């Protein structure tokens, strides 16, 4: 779904005593095979700028005019680097919002979206700079799915393949789009969704905070209705628990604490090969209206300069390979999503947008990046051969 006509009035904080109430809980788990947890979550009240602590239970928050903030980040680069990258992302984005979106800021949807965009891009620059200054963290990075509630509308910033779902009327709809190789191939018609879900390259992402000097974020928006549940999660959950299962578990459990625990338990029951993080938010209050059949739920770009909505990028045109030549391993490989020194290398994919570095500087890629690029070369050579064969066949057909 692309950008549509945008009614800014509906995103203004409810007037009078009408308020939006959010019951929220967040939980992270190391999983069954990892020794370290490289995931991070963060929830904050943007009116006060205070982050919430879930050690004592869930929170019920009445959203004030400057809204609420929810984040899930999934670090990469080895245990120490991945954990640092994800925790830096959460704190830096929140710190940026405290400066860009203070109580003195005029409240408007566009200014809110701009603050989310700018805080995320500034966090990327800081993480990248830290990695350059500390060789032991070279190549560190993290995904980030960041949701901000303003009035009765969510604004979601996406970098990488953590996800946001809205569960409504017993159905879970993904409102983010994975910035991953598999997502690109599905959109290009090279793979079906089912093939992508079992591919041994399903964990290759195209963007993250930190590895490159610049990042182009994706911003989407979603109207919230009474009774909606927002689920933010790392791919430790979404890679093992499908959307319909998320919807079922969410609908069956009214307690957001148990909701998070049951989702994580389901992923661990299936092996828990990665860290698992869930933020669950159930929305209520007389500031929200009931859902109707005319409502739309799903991925919708927010039209803002400097985001993916402004930059249309297409996959390189490659001929479709015969379906029986696309091989996928039905058994998920453990430990390749967030590599440690003993993990298998993951093929590196260039960022979604061109990036620039300081003038006259060309930073050398980490050794593991070069190794990943070499691993990808046979695939691209095969595609080139298939393309050449297709051209030759077409010329022969035209001459005959």
pLDDT band at 194 (very low <50, low <70, confident <90, very high): confident
| H-only helix segments in 172-274 | 181-187, 193-198, 235-238, 243-252, 256-269
- Domain residue spans of the chain: 8-284
Tokens 């050449």 label which residue? 388
Contact 166, 145 (CB under 8 A): no
Contact 46, 68 (CB under 8 A): yes
pLDDT band at 193 (very low <50, low <70, confident <90, very high): confident
Termini Cα distance of the chain: 44
Percent of the chain residues past pLDDT 70, beyond the cut: 74
Contact 68, 61 (CB under 8 A): yes
Say how many residues make up the chain.
400
Task: State yes or no: pLDDT of 242 exceeds 50.
Answer: yes
pLDDT band at 301 (very low <50, low <70, confident <90, very high): very high
Residue closest to 143 by CA, chosen among 367, 392, 338:
338
The pLDDT, as a whole number, for residue 391 is: 67
pTM confidence score: 0.77
Which of 125-134, 193-202, 211-220, 280-289 is predicted least confidently? 193-202
Fold of the domain spanning 8-284: Phosphatase 2c; domain 1 (3.60.40)
- The Cα 233–Cα 236 span in angstroms is 8
In Å, what is the CA distance from 126 to each residue of 84, 88, 188, 209, 234? 12, 9, 34, 9, 22
**Higher-pLDDT residue of 397, 271:** 271
Considering the chain, what is the average pLDDT of its residues?
82
DSSP code at position 21: E
In Å, what is the CA distance from 175 to each residue of 141, 193, 246, 302, 360? 23, 16, 14, 12, 40
Q: Which two tokens stand for residue 155?
A: 């604004």
- The Cα 44–Cα 94 span in angstroms is 8
pLDDT band at 368 (very low <50, low <70, confident <90, very high): very low
Distance from the Cα of residue 255 to its chain's centroid:
25
The pLDDT, as a whole number, for residue 255 is: 97
Task: State yes or no: pLDDT of 79 exceeds 90.
Answer: no
The pLDDT, as a whole number, for residue 357 is: 27
């Amino acid at each position: 779904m692309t950008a549509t006509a945008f009614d800014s009035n509906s995103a203004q904080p409810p007037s009078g005593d009408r308020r939006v109430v959010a019951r929220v809980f967040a939980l992270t788990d190391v999983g069954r095979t990892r020794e370290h947890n490289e995931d991070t979550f963060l929830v904050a009240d943007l009116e006060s700028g205070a982050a919430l602590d879930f050690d004592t239970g869930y929170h019920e928050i009445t959203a004030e005019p400057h809204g609420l903030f929810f984040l899930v980040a999934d670090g990469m680069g080895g245990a120490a680097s991945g954990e640092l990258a994800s925790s830096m992302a959460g704190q830096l984005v929140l710190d940026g919002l405290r400066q860009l979106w203070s109580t003195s800021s005029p409240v408007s949807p566009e200014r809110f979206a701009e603050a989310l965009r700018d805080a995320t891009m500034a966090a990327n620059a800081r993480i990248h700079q830290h990695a350059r200054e500390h060789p032991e963290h070279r190549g560190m990075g993290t995904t980030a799915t960041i949701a901000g509630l303003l009035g009765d509308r969510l604004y979601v910033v996406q970098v990488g393949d953590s996800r946001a779902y809205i569960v409504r009327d017993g159905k879970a709809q993904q409102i983010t789009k994975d910035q991953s190789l598999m997502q690109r191939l599905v959109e290009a018609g090279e793979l079906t969704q089912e093939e992508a879900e079992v591919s041994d390259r399903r964990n290759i992402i195209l963007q993250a905070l930190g590895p490159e000097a610049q990042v182009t974020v994706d911003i989407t928006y979603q109207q919230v209705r009474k009774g909606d549940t927002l689920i933010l999660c790392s791919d430790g959950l979404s890679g093992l628990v499908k959307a319909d299962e998320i919807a079922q578990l969410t609908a069956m459990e009214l307690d957001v604490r148990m909701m998070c625990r049951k989702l994580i338990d389901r992923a661990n029951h299936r092996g828990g090969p990665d860290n698992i993080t869930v933020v669950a938010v159930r929305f209520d209050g007389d500031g929200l209206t009931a859902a109707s059949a005319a409502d739309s739920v799903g991925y919708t770009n927010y039209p803002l300069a400097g985001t993916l909505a402004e930059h249309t990028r297409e996959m390189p045109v490659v001929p479709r390979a015969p379906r029986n030549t696309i091989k996928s391993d039905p058994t998920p490989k453990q430990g390749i999503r967030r590599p440690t020194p003993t993990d298998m290398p993951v093929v590196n994919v260039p960022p979604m947008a061109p990036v620039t570095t300081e003038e006259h500087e060309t930073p050398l890629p980490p050794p593991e990046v070069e190794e990943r690029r070499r691993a990808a070369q046979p695939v691209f050579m095969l595609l080139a051969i298939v393309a050449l064969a297709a051209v030759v066949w077409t010329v022969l057909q035209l001459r005959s």
